Amino acid sequence: MCKKTVITYGTFDLFHIGHLNLLKRLRALGERLVVGVSTDEFNALKGKKTTIAYDERAAIVDALSVVDAVFPESSWDQKRADIVRFGADVFGMGDDWAGRFDDLRDICTVVYLPRTPDISTTAIRAQLREPALPN
C-alpha cells in the first residue's frame, strides 16, 4: 500500500514557529513529507542571501519528526520532476505563493496553506537590525 506523499519547498532560514507550523500542517495531509530546501546558490539567483548555510538549514529541517526526507532545491523548474521522482500526491506551499504553482495540478493536488500570523523570516531580520534596548 502506497503512503500518501506531500512535497514542499522553502529556504527555511532562521527557522521559526511559522516554518514548523506549516510543515506540521503539510504532514497532516499525508503519511510522508518530503521537503526541498533551497540551496545557497539558488537563493542567490532569487536575489536572497541566507543567514544560515544550506547544509545547516537542511540538517535542521531533516531533524524534524514530521519530515521524512530532505533534498536540495536548486532551480524553479525542478518541481515537476521532483513530484514524479517522489511520487507526490500533494504539492503544498504557504498561501503567500497562492496561484504560483497551479500548473502542477495536472499531476497532483496543489494546496496553499495559511501562514502563521505575525511571524516571518523578514520580520525577524528587521527586528534583529533594531538597536538593542539598554539594560
Per-residue pLDDT reduced to its tens digit, 33-79: 999 999 999 999 999 999 999 999 999 999 999 999 999 999 999 99
Q: Is there a catalytic annotation at residue 4?
A: no
Name the pLDDT band for 125 (thresholds 50, 70, 90): low
Taking the domains of the chain in order of start, what are their residue ranges? 5-129
Please, what is the average pLDDT of the chain?
A: 91
CA-based angle 96:99:101, to the nearest 5?
Answer: 100
Q: Report the 10 Å Cβ neighbour count for 35.
A: 24
Q: Quick one: fold of 5-129?
A: Rossmann fold (3.40.50)
Give residue 84's pLDDT: 98
Active site residue 48: yes
Residue from 3, 4, 48, 79 carrying the catalytic annotation: 48
Q: Catalytic pick from 3, 4, 24, 46?
A: 46
Residues 65, 100: Cα–Cα separation, whole Å: 28
